[in-house]
Amino acid sequence: MNRNQVRPQRRHATPSRIERVRRQAVPKPRVIIALLLLLGLVSVMLLDGYLRAEVGNDQRVRSDASASKVPDSVLDGGPFLSFQGGTARTRSVPDKTIVLTFDDGPDPEWTQKVLDILDDNEVPGTFFLVGSMVSRYPDVVRRMVDDGNEVGVHTFTHVDLSYQSAARVTREIAQTQLALAGAAGITTTLFRAPYSSTNDAIDNYSWPVYKKLGAMGYTSVFIDTDSEDWQQPGVSKIIKWATPKSGKGASVLFHDAGGNRAQTLEALPQYIKKMKSKGYTFTTVSGAQQQTQGQQAQGQQVQGQQTPAPQGTPGTAGNTLQSNPEQAAHRTADTATLWEGRALLGAVAVAEWTVPGLAAVLAVVGVAVLGRFAMMLVLARRHYRQRNRRRFSWGPAVTEPVSVIVPAYNEKECIANTLNSLAASTHPIEIVVVDDGSTDGTAEIAESLGLPNVRVIRQPNAGKPAALNNGVRQARYDIVVMMDGDTVFEPDTVQRLVQPFGDPEVGAVAGNAKVGNRTTMIGAWQHIEYVMGFNLDRRMYDLLRCMPTIPGAIGAFRRDAVLGVGGMSEDTLAEDTDITIALHRAGWRVVYAEHARAWTEAPASLGQLWRQRYRWSYGTMQALWKHRKSVTDRGPSGRFGRVGMPLVVLFQIVTPVFAPLIDVFTVYAMIFVDFKASLLAWLAVLLVQLVCAGYAFRLDRERYRYLLMLPLQQIAYRQLMYLVLIHSCVTAATGGRLRWQKLKRTGEVGTPAPGTGVR
């Protein structure tokens, strides 16, 4: 399509003014806004993926490593491990005492119910929390602390720290502490590592981690009694396995998240009542350590000694962690840590709202995209069968001469090929070349060819709509064909194009635009787009009687119809879409002649392609907005407004704007969820597109070899088109203005020979 005219400009524009025009073509603030939005989206999705602990599919790597470097006193000791002066020390739970510990929370459903049970039975619990869950459900943690329960760190992403770098260990703990500070205003000195419930789980790989944590002031909490509720073995077995033997004290493990905890909820109140009936009391980790400390010999007590605040415990400035177990595990977060934690929770809240919202939009877009493909295939097939019936006819054959209008502005590279192709027409025509103030000798070249029935009309530079209107006024015949100055026709193109005018209801006909310079990669990509995206679409719109655009490269009109709607409008940058909608609203039928082919020169560079498609997209939005009242009109205008306009808005604006979500979420799923499944899903969508493209190529009798470029087109070219459309939406939303721009032409699309297409 040749939307390559420019608005009137002063002939003697200074270089500085030209540079200003170029700078205004791509407004920097909009680019910055777009980049910031893209950066924000990427950041939000990365945060969401990290929160869900799905990076790399973390799991315990080894389970049979040697523990030769771990002291026997630790392996055989009590469940509470701390370090004093670099020496490991363990403590056990006093007899007839139960420390209820819960892993993997908080969960908005199961943890809340566990807290209800603890409240009803007036017993405390110690919850080892996953930082990502804390940041997602801070209200649950706040209630947990307010109810007098104790909390500990269970890492941020539930990763096995034994096989992580020192930086990762510090980060996992520090991030969890920030989440706790933001949720409840506290930090903690308690820690439990994932995949390490009992002391004998410590091996040579994890032992350095525990030593480092001890030096930071943390108490690592293990268990000596496991309910194994995660296996969901049944309520009776959970209670049995959680019961210590011979009246001994126990650190007991339950889970309040990480799966279905219905059996845990049923077993927990029965277990508490059972243990109380046996004379047991319930306490927290700190409470158990206090009791143990009181029972130890006086010489084992350490009074007044202090250790540095944990390095992974932000917010403990001004507070020191004492080795005295009477000191509670919770610390009040300092101001800086408190606000950092709240900022983290705020970012998580944004991610929690944004990603599911985008996923919902993705589902709608996916359905719309697949629905569009299905609709195009069904209606294109029906259109093909209808138009190729032997008895099909538009009416009496159209044999009278027609006027071909060629608007031209600086088309010296292409004008000769264009006019020579028209001179070979098998249908009687007059050729009206409207030179729109060219400065490169276009008019002189047209006259020097000496072709019959060619008139050259010169006018001051006024833009393409003005040139077309001038040509329509001076046309001698009732049917006018409009084309671009860089386009060539096949000999029978005009004859095929005008036959639908045998039907008196037809006011305009869209032809089949083909990419002539398809030998390059960009040209091949555009060729696929023209065949599949444009021409397959036009078959669908033709059958629905709501054709939105007659391409500027090849279209035919009743002269009276064009004049009746006021001619080609300068109100929008997409004068072809504007006139098409205007004809619909005036009651004329607009149809598609797929066998009338024109060969046009597509932009040869990404920069030119961007400028062209940016103008097309923005101009289409302008035309739709201009004719928005057709939605409420009656008659033919209302039909287009309620059928055609919603389809154009949905398929050409809304769906493409959000279609990048498909690729974004594919990458997201490959990184954070399941690489293989995500890749297969993306390939399935690509296969659907390949089927549609293959069928479109079959209908247009094109060579299938170009479809080999489809995967790369989907990865690279399609993303560029999405960005162009998004840029156009930003321009429309901010009220920006866009000037006409002249695309550089090479003239490489030659005159087609009969039945052979383009040379």
Distance in angstroms between the alpha carbons of the first and the last residue of the chain: 20
Cβ neighbours for 87, distance < 8 A, ≥ 6 positions apart: none
- Write the single-letter amino acid at 748: E
Taking the mean position of all CA atoms in its chain, how far away is CA 176?
Answer: 29
Identify which of 280, 277, 226 has the alpha carbon closest to the alpha carbon of residue 254: 226
Backbone angles phi, psi at 107, to 5 degrees: -120, 135
Q: Tell me the C-alpha distance between 255 and 265, whole Å.
A: 10
Give the span between the Cα atoms of 741 and 5, in whole angstroms: 6
Residue 401, preceding bond cis, omega within 30 degrees?
no
Q: Counting runs of H as helices and runs of E as strands, what totals does the chain give?
A: 28, 22
One-letter amino acid at 721 equals: M
Distance CA 716, CA 463 (A): 33
Q: How many angstroms separate the CA atoms of 20 and 330, rounded?
A: 62
CA distance 130 to 154: 5
Angle at the Cα of 461 (from 463 to 419), degrees rounded to 5? 80
Calpha distance 724→727 (Å, rounded): 5
Burial 502-538 (b: 16+ CB within 10 A, else e): eeeebbbbbbbbbbbbbeeebbbbbbbbbbbbbbbbb
Exposed (0-12), middle (13-18) or buried (19+): which is 459, by Cβ within 10 Å? middle
Q: Please spell the DSSP secondary structure of 40-66, one letter per residue.
A: HHHHHHHHHHHHTT-GGG-----SS--
DSSP state of 753: B
| Three-state SS at 93 | coil
Q: Which amino acid is at 428?
A: P
For 718, other C-beta atoms within 10 Å of its C-beta total 21
Please list the active-site residues.
103, 255
Please report which residue ranges of 640-750 form alpha helices under DSSP H.
645-648, 655-658, 660-672, 675-699, 710-712, 718-734
Q: Are 700 and 599 in contact (CB under 8 A)?
A: no
Rg (CA), the chain: 37
* DSSP helix/strand/coil, 84: strand
